[in-house]
Structure 1
């Protein structure tokens, strides 16, 4: 059985002191039976938050990574740096990285390979714009994103992989996909992975939903058979709402 992964993507929010205070408060609520919990603070807060989370089951992740181990790449952070800071996961290919920083499928593929090479678990984000959805191009676009990101990466290279379906039109807008629509896309992703790799691997890898996930809609979304957790944005910035989503995941998956 796939353990649901509830991940908080804080984006460009929280100072170091605010991040540490959040981690301390969340730590008091642990453990979270039947659910894996992950928080992804901004870079400056990674190491301080890792110290707070030491000895707990709460995982730490980064929001981005460079594909090289070191070099003249001003402003970038490498996989070894993330590992040294205490990260287990890294988000790759988020729509905001694609939109605002021009990340292409080729760049995302290089980052994915780098993460896997250093035993960081990638959370690969895919998703369509409202324009693409309205013209019926959702599946074609997501297949293209998956193919681009996983091109040249063999099954033997992937110890663990998480896919996050994040419809761009639902991120930070207050709109979210209907549970049945999110399930349809997540099922498509799993079928694609089964054809590309194997049904066994596809059945073991987790596929999240992200896009205005809140305590109010989490239970219905997470009750879907192919939604194995959530990549949470705004609602992950407050312990109360994030914890409510974690509880909803546990209940929805029968933990």
Structure 2
């Protein structure tokens, strides 16, 4: 059975003290997790060690970095290497988030390099893909997302691909007033799984968790997570509210 994942992406939010309290409130209230269920907290870099310590005795709970740099080391002031993350025990790392692609101009080639470094250090990439509003309105979303997957992941052998978690972000449904339905989420998730199957075979494609990242809330999580190809969510704003995120965890299959 594929892992069902509730991943909290705090982005650039919370002071250290607020983050400690938020984690404590969530961990005290979350439901017991089944073997196939995982909760991930993607916290800002300064909080990684604090968060790792907080979840150390929790079953099926991990900490993720929100990004990494695509070079091993060197004169890259302000950047964080994969080796640094590995040295403090980080097990997951988000790459290719729509905000990183848009604001920091990350390319598919950059993400291929990050993927290779993460896998080399035994850190699982949470690879984000998705289309903007103009691409969706032009009906080109499938071609766009397929190209993201091909250029960043398809150089991998099958055994490495199964270490990837994919997160689909319909950028057009985040902060635009437009809403992606559960059916639209399932349609794209099924397409992504089909693209993976065409390259690697159905058995490999069926092993890969594909998360939905389009404004998941407690109110819509159960319906979205209930779709056959949706394996949980990459949650932004709602993950900053303990009660809300606990409800989202409870919606996992």
How high is the TM-score relative to the length of structure 1? 0.94
1:101-156 CA-to-partner distances (Å, cap 9, x unmatched) read: 00011111111111111111111111111111111101000011101111422223
- Give the CA RMSD over aligned residues: 1.4
How far apart are the structure 2 equivalents of 1:39 and 1:7? 6
Matched, 1:198 2:201: yes
Unaligned runs of 5+ in 2: none
How far apart are the structure 2 equivalents of 1:152 and 1:3? 23
- Cα drift, residue 200 of structure 1: 1.2
How far apart are the structure 2 equivalents of 1:51 and 1:31? 20
Q: Which runs of 4+ in 1 moved over 6 A?
A: none
Kept in 1: contact 2:8–2:239 (CA 8 A):
yes
Corresponding pairs, count: 250
- Cα drift, residue 215 of structure 1: 0.5
How far apart are the structure 2 equivalents of 1:220 and 1:31? 19
Kept in 2: contact 1:92–1:108 (CA 8 A):
yes
Structure 1 counterpart of 2:136: 133
Structure 1 counterpart of 2:42: 40
Kept in 1: contact 2:7–2:42 (CA 8 A):
yes
Kept in 2: contact 1:172–1:234 (CA 8 A):
no
Structure 2 counterpart of 1:235: 238
Matched, 1:29 2:17: no
- Cα drift, residue 173 of structure 1: 4.2
Three-state SS of the structure 2 residue aligned to 1:216 is helix
- Cα drift, residue 172 of structure 1: 3.9
Q: Judging changes above 3 Å, is the alpha-carbon distance between structure 1 residues 31 and 86 closer, same or farther for their aligned structure 2 residues?
A: farther
Between 29-38 and 118-127, the greater mean CA deviation after superposition: 29-38
Structure 2 counterpart of 1:182: 185
Kept in 2: contact 1:65–1:76 (CA 8 A):
yes
- Cα drift, residue 201 of structure 1: 1.2
Structure 1 counterpart of 2:164: 161
Three-state SS of the structure 2 residue aligned to 1:45 is helix
Unaligned runs of 5+ in 1: none
How far apart are the structure 1 equivalents of 2:193 and 2:214? 19
How do 1:109-128 residues align onto structure 2 when only pairs under 5 Å count? Answer: 109-128=112-131
